[in-house]
Amino acid sequence: MKVLVVGNGGREHALAWKLLQSKQIEQVVCAPGNGGTAGLKGCQNLPLAVDDFEGISQFALHEGISLVLVGPEVPLAKGITDYLNSKGLKVFGPTRAGAQIEASKAWAKALMQEAGIPTARAAVFTEATAAKFYVKAQGAPIVVKADGLAAGKGVIVAETVEQAQAAIDAMFGGEFGSAGKFVVIEEYLTGEEVSVLALTDGLTIRPLQPAQDHKRIGEGDTGENTGGMGAYAPAPIATKEVMARIQKEVLEKAIAALKAKGIDYRGVLYAGLMMTPKGDFKVLEFNCRFGDPETQVVLPLLETPLEDLILACVEQRLAQMPPIAWKQGAAVTVVAASGGYPGAYEKGKVITGIEQAEALGTTVFHAGTLNQEQLLTDGGRVLNVTAVGENFDQALAQAYAGIQCIHFEGMYYRRDIGHRVR
C-alpha cells in the first residue's frame, strides 16, 4: 500500500512513523510534511499545501495512492474528503458536513443538546453587547470561545468578568478572523480533562486509549491556552467503567445524531471531556481529527496495525474487526516550543541534539521543523519528545532525559508534564 498523509505537524509525523512499521505499507507520502518526515525511511515529502485539493488529487491518482489520511482540521472543514472521494480516492476523515462538529462550536453544542450528550451549559452570541450582558449576569470564572477554527487558541478561560468582556471584544474585533463571527459562552467546569480519540466508520465507533493533554503554556496549568504542551496515555482517570459510560453516553449518541442528520462520518471523532471529582463527565468539545499531541502518545501504544483500522473505517466494516490490541505500559510526550509561543515567535533557529535524545530510547516527532542542509525551527511547537515505559515514572524520566539533550535558541518546555500521575 501507498498512503498519502496530509499535514505537516507532529501528529502527521507520528502517523507516518506508525504506518511505516507495517510490512503492508510500501511508502508514505506527506503533503507537505516537515523536517522529521523528510528523514523518515520509506517516507517522502510532497511540497503541496493542505488545501491544494486538485494537486493532492492529481498526485494520488497518478502515483496509485491506496489511501489518503487527513491530519489537520482545516482541509477537512474545507471539504477535502468530498473532493477526493469525487475523484474515486479512499479518504480517512469526515466530509465537510461532518467536520462542522469541530469547525463550529455552536453547531456541535446544538448537536450535543439534541442528542442528550452531557455538556456544559452555554449560549451563542452574534454581537458583543448581548454577550457582555450575559457574562455580567452569569459572573466569573466563565469560558469564552470563538465559534470557528482558531488552531486550538480560540478558547479563553476568564477568571473575571472584565477578562471575559475583553475576550468578547477581541473575538468580535477580529483577533481570530472569521472564527470569531459567533461567540459561544460556557459555564466554567472544574476537574480533569481527558481526550478520547475514537475511530468510526459512521456505524460503529471504537475508542483508542484515553490521553491527557496539557493545554496551558505555564507550569501548574497556568497561562494562555496553546495547541498542547505535552500529553500522556493511558489517562488513569478514565477507568474501564468511565470509558464504558463514555462509549454509551457520548460516542454512540454522537454517531447516531450525525447519522440522523444524514451525515456519513468516517474518520476520527475526538471527544474532549471534563471529569468531575465525583467521576461524572461533560463534553467540552468535539474534534474531527486525531489530536495533537495526543496522537504522539496513543500510537506508540497501539499494537493493531493502524492501516487495518483505518481501512476498516473507510470501507465501513469496523464492526467486523477484532478488539483493538494495546501494548502494556505508558507513553509520555513533552513539547519543545519556540520562545514567545503561543504569541509571536521567531523561526529559523538551528536545532541540535535529536540524535542524542533518540540514543536514550526516545522517539522525537517533529512538529514545526524544516530541513535546509541543517534542521531549523519552523513553528511554535517544534518537537515532541516521546517515551514509552513500563509505567509513568519510567516514561517521564526517559522523555525528560531526552529533551535535555536538545537545544535551539529560545527553546521552552514545561517541566511538569504528567504532574497528575506522578
Q: 287-342, pLDDT tens digit by residue?
A: 999 999 999 999 999 999 999 999 999 999 999 999 999 999 999 999 999 999 99
The mean pLDDT value for 177-192 works out to 88
Q: Is 190 exposed, middle or buried (0-12, 13-18, 19+ CB in 10 A)?
A: exposed
The mean pLDDT value for 363-372 works out to 96
Confidence band, pLDDT 50/70/90 cuts, at residue 148: confident
Band of pLDDT at residue 103, cut at 50, 70 and 90? very high
Going by pLDDT thresholds of 50, 70 and 90, the confidence category of residue 90 is: very high
**Long-range contact pairs involving 170-174 (C-beta distance under 8 Å, separation at least 24):** 171/144, 171/146, 172/127, 172/128, 172/131
Mean pLDDT, rounded, for 161-165: 94
**Cα–Cα–Cα angle for 379, 383, 389, nearest 5°?**
160
pLDDT of residue 180: 78
Q: How much of the chain, in percent, has pLDDT values that exceed 70?
A: 100
Find cell 516537515 and name the residue. Answer: 34
The pLDDT, as a whole number, for residue 174 is 85
- Specify the DSSP class assigned to residue 53: H
Which residues are paired to 31 by β-bridges? 6
Question: How many other CB atoms are there within 10 angstroms of residue 289's CB atom?
Answer: 27
Output the pLDDT for position 177.
Answer: 82
The whole-number pLDDT of residue 344 equals 94
Mean pLDDT of all residues in 20-38: 96
pLDDT reported for residue 373: 87
pLDDT at 205: 98
Instruction: Say whether pLDDT at 14 is over 90.
Output: yes
Mean per-residue pLDDT, 247-265? 98
Put residue 224 in one of left, alpha, beta given phi > 0 → left and psi -120 to 50 → alpha.
Answer: beta
pLDDT, greater one: 180 or 91: 91
| Distance (Å, whole) CA 196 – CA 332 | 16
**pLDDT tier at 136, thresholds 50, 70, 90:** very high
Q: How far is it, in rounded angstroms, from Cα 131 to Cα 135?
A: 6
Q: Does the structure show a pLDDT above 80 at 153?
A: no
End-to-end Cα, the chain, rounded Å? 41
Does residue 246 have a pLDDT over 90?
yes
What mean pLDDT value characterizes the chain? Answer: 95
Spatial neighbors of 381 by CB under 8 A, at least 6 apart, are 9, 10, 226, 227, 228, 229, 293, 335, 336, 337, 338, 341, 367, 368
pTM: 0.95
Check pLDDT > 70 for residue 152. Answer: no
Q: In this predicted model, what pLDDT tens digit does every residue of 270-300 receive, in sequence order?
A: 999 999 888 899 999 999 999 999 999 999 9
Summarize the confidence of residues 49-59 as an average pLDDT.
98
Q: What is the pLDDT of residue 149?
A: 86
Strand partners, 377: 369
Question: What was the pLDDT predicted at 361?
Answer: 96
Report the SS3 class of residue 403: helix
On the question of pLDDT at 238 being above 80, the answer is yes
Q: What are residue 385's phi and psi, to 5 degrees?
A: -90, 115
Cell numbers of 293, please?
499531541
Q: Which pLDDT does position 279 carry in this prediction? A: 83
**Residue whose entry in the numeric block shows the C-alpha cell 521543523:** 369
DSSP secondary structure letters along 255-296:
HHHHHHTT----EEEEEEEEE-TTS-EEEEEEESS--TTTHH
Average pLDDT value for residue range 88-110: 96
